[in-house]
Amino acid sequence: MTAYPKMTAEERKAEYAKVTKEYEDLKARGLKLNMARGKPGKAQLDLVSDIFDLMQKPEDYVSDGVDVRNYGELSGLPAAKRLFAEILGCRPEQVFVGGNASLQLMYDTISKAYTHGLLRSERPWCREPVVKFLCPSPGYDRHFKVTESFGFELITIPMTEEGPDMDAVEEAIKDPAVKGMWNVPKYSNPDGFIYSAETIRRIASMKPAAADFLLMWDNAYCVHEFEGDFVEFPDILAECAKYGNADMVFEFASTSKITFPGGGISCFACSEANMAYMEKLIGIQTISFDKVNQQRHVLYLKDKAHTLELMKKHAAIMGPKFRCVVDALDREIAPLEIASWRRPTGGYFVSLYAMPGTARRTLALCKEAGVTMTGAGATYPYGKDPQDSNIRIAPSLPPLEELEQAIAVLCVCLKMAALECLGV
């Protein structure tokens, strides 16, 4: 197969006619497939539904002397703190266990900074003339939207295989209006990169001009390998403390992709000084999060080793889906030299870089053929991909046979859009 950029105009014309025919055939099938979101598939949900067999015995209602059914224990059950602390490598007293969504804990952390200020804030961020936030991109659209919704100015930081471009970060944080940075440090969303030790060292030792700089460390995929063994990852709390930055970081995690997306538990982890400060604020907002579900998860997941065993079972479902996507791209697209991607080993996404200027068109074609993908531009601040290139593929939801169809559609659409861009 000749690479598209190397084809003559004639050849491209012929190829375009061929792929257009393929596209029309696929469209005629009336597909309705969804690869828009990192949503676990039914097999993964069924895998963990024996969690409902728990909480049958009266002794299960009590944890460390606390009746989990009643009010109290603002920061969560001690046993739930121990579980998350072991998984994250921090200490239980640094963990606050929340409800079913770490996104909500992240939003609330930003919201509290805005309404009340953080531990080291001179004033609430709503009293600042401008607040700027660093967004390593491509990144997670929901992160960017949280900070956008509070009117912050989003600053794009390029992503590299090692993590955010730290030269750009170190330059940006000289501005005292720059108040924080988003991160998905392990299996970054969408690229699947793992921040390198050197990047983590540079992040942990930053000296931002803003005294209340907020490092948002969303460790969403902390145990989410789908190829190979569990990859150890440093405890960012200890790393920051090492450089005198103990109060700079809030880490987040959840069981949304370990047990249930709709009914898991979440946590944030931070310094004990931050914890004392946040508990005072959160104590006005609630009496506690759902301790019954915390206890259910403690009984079900038991500890890190047992959780990692469960993640192997998720991997057995996820792995083939990712291989299906990347194999198809390798086979269908690689020879054409119209896009690039990597083979991730964990997380929930394949990040594809289409020929600049073709992502939007590719996704429009997909949609027309019944395949819903994450919107073009979504992985950049304000939903604007300057290159119109990045496409986030989320292979987790469709069963394998549907996924094969969906990726076939995507490949054809990539070809059409590239040919249109090159000229046909």
Positions touching a copy of itself (CB under 8 A) are 37, 39-40, 42, 45-46, 49, 52-53, 55-56, 58, 61, 67-73, 99-101, 103-104, 107-108, 111, 114-116, 124, 126, 142, 145-146, 149-150, 256, 260-263, 281, 284-293
Minimum distance from residue 314 beta carbon to a copy of itself (Å): 14
Q: How many CA atoms lie within 13 A of 143 on its CB side?
A: 29
User: Closer to a copy of itself at the Cβ: 208 or 395?
Assistant: 395
Distance CA 397, CA 229 (A): 23
Q: How many CB atoms lie within 10 A of CB 107?
A: 18
Closest distance of CB 369 from a copy of itself, Å? 23
Question: Between residues 100 and 351, which has the closer beta carbon with respect to a copy of itself?
Answer: 100
CB neighbours of residue 409 within 10 Å: 26
Q: In terms of CB distance, is 284 or 305 closer to a copy of itself?
A: 284
CB of residue 62 to a copy of itself, shortest distance in Å = 10
Shortest CB 416 distance to a copy of itself, Å:
31
Closest distance of CB 374 from a copy of itself, Å:
14
Closest distance to a copy of itself from the beta carbon of 208 (Å):
23
Which residue from 219, 220, 305 is spatially nearest to 40, judged by alpha carbons? 220
Whose Cβ is closer to a copy of itself: residue 5's or residue 283's?
A: 283
Decide: 275 and 93 in contact? Cβ < 8 Å. Answer: yes
For the CA atoms of 353, 35, 260, 83, the dihedral, rounded to the nearest 10 degrees, stands at: -10
User: Which residues, 6 or more positions from 17, have their beta carbon under 8 angstroms from its beta carbon?
Assistant: none
Look-up of token digits 């500890």: 303
Measured from the CB atom, is 89 or 180 closer to a copy of itself? 180
Residue with tokens 């080793």: 305
Give the single-character DSSP code of 330: H
| Phi then psi dihedrals of residue 186, to 5 deg | -120, 125
